[in-house]
Amino acid sequence: MVRERGGRVSLGCLFTLLLLTAALYFGVNIGEVYWRYYRYRDAMRQEARFARMRSDQAITRRLTSVAESLGLPDGAQQVGIRRDGRTRQVTIGADYAERVEFPGFVRTLRFSPRAEATY
């Protein structure tokens, strides 16, 4: 014989649902920050691959544009480019920080995307 519960929901189920919803909400916030970082780093890698055909100024302009379109902080637009003529290697990088807000505290995440390639 099966008894019906009459529409009552256990407190444990509601608590689990609340925790899952909170984790998803804050996971999206931090996930978005990392997603922008990976996209910016990918753009740097692409510029490094084609560095032999582009000037440093052109690379800087392109990466500044990418940083602006991704909504990255101003530090991401300060792109450093180093070319080594002897080894024919280019290194592109930037340093920036983003703030992620959680209930009760704010976390600052520091990023240093880098890309190297031989040209």
pLDDT of residue 112: 98
pTM for this model (two decimals): 0.81
Report the 10 Å Cβ neighbour count for 12. Answer: 8
Kindly give the confidence (pLDDT) of every residue in the chain, 119 residues in length, as a single tens digit, with 9 standing for 90 and above: 666 655 555 777 888 888 888 888 878 889 999 999 999 999 999 999 999 999 999 999 999 999 999 999 999 999 999 999 999 999 999 999 999 987 788 999 999 999 999 98
Would you kindly state where each structural domain of the chain is located, as residue ranges? 11-118
Would you say 104 and 26 are in contact if contact means Cβ atoms under 8 Å apart?
A: no
Q: Output the pLDDT for position 80.
A: 97
Query: Which two structure tokens, joined as six digits, stand for 88?
Result: 């024919």
Per-residue pLDDT, 49: 96
pLDDT at 84: 95
Angle of helix 56-70 relative to helix 11-49, nearest 10 degrees, comes to 160
